[in-house]
């Protein structure tokens, strides 16, 4: 896994105007743009719980030339393999990388899923994980929990994986912007009246989303340290020794 990430500059850009696109999804896309290109060239990648069709977000793994296997519980997404992440139908050490994106909150035993991911990885292989934190309950088909950095450190170690990156993705203002977005999308979906209010909220949301990424950057002002206690979720890179 010697290649450096080739796209480190994915920005919100015009997506700031797209209210169907959350900041949480932006952080997930940006994380993958940064780390997936560093996989072994022509490597075999397991997209555990990933969608082969009806995929969300901007990032697509297809152009990178990896040998990708999508595994999902549901056949409606047309995965190459229908299966359970807690009992992977693969032998030991067959993948160069595993992606577990916005999945662990939907499984009853995430530690077991991580152990299975470690088992099917080759030595030196990497696992990329993203998972929400300050995020609405979303059954897909069920939603079990939200986890902290301490949880990931413990469970990665138990699975025999070395954590390389555990990053908070957005802080207080990013969470606030996504809460406002969810409220506005709900109003529109329900056909609630108040066109002027909807327009004002949309205008404020566009401005807030653009500023949130700036305001949530780490700063020297200790008065703002409370902002770090909030996050939209986590991005994690781990390695099998």
Q: Which residue has the higher pLDDT, 19 or 118?
A: 118
Question: Hey, CA dihedral for 232, 117, 155, 75, is it positive or negative?
Answer: positive
* CB neighbour class for 190 (10 Å; exposed up to 12, middle 13-18, buried from 19): exposed
Condensed to tens digits (0 to 9), the pLDDT of residues 136-170 reads: 998 878 999 999 999 999 999 999 999 999 999 99
The C-alpha atoms of residue 116 and residue 162 are separated, in whole angstroms, by 15
10 pLDDT above the threshold of 70: yes
Measuring CA to CA, how many Å separate 68 from each of 132, 165, 193?
24, 23, 46
Least confident interval from 67-76, 212-221, 228-237: 212-221
Prediction pTM value: 0.91
CA nearest neighbour of 237 among 155, 157, 162: 162
Q: Which residue has the higher pLDDT, 207 or 43?
A: 43
């Amino acid at each position: 896994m010697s290649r450096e990430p080739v796209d480190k500059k994915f920005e919100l850009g015009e997506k700031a105007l797209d209210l169907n696109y959350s900041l949480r999804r932006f952080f997930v896309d940006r994380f993958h743009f940064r780390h997936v290109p560093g996989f072994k060239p022509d490597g075999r990648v397991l997209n555990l719980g990933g969608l082969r069709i009806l995929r969300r977000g901007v990032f697509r793994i297809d152009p990178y030339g990896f040998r990708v296997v999508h595994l999902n519980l549901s056949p409606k997404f047309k995965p190459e393999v229908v299966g359970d992440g807690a009992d992977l139908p693969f032998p030991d050490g067959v993948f160069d990388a595993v992606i577990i994106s916005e999945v662990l909150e939907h499984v009853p035993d995430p530690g077991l899923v991580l152990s299975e991911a470690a088992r099917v990885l080759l030595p030196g292989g990497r696992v990329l994980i993203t998972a929400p934190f300050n995020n609405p309950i979303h059954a897909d088909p069920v939603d079990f929990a939200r986890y902290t950095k301490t949880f990931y450190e413990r469970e990665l170690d138990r699975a025999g994986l070395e954590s390389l990156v555990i990053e908070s993705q957005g802080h207080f203002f990013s969470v606030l912007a996504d809460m406002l977005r969810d409220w506005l999308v709900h109003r529109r979906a329900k056909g609630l009246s108040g066109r002027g209010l909807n327009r004002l909220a949309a205008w404020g949301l566009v401005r807030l989303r653009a500023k949130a990424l700036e305001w949530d950057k780490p700063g020297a002002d200790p008065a703002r340290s409370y902002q770090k206690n909030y996050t939209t979720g986590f991005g994690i890179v781990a390695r099998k020794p």
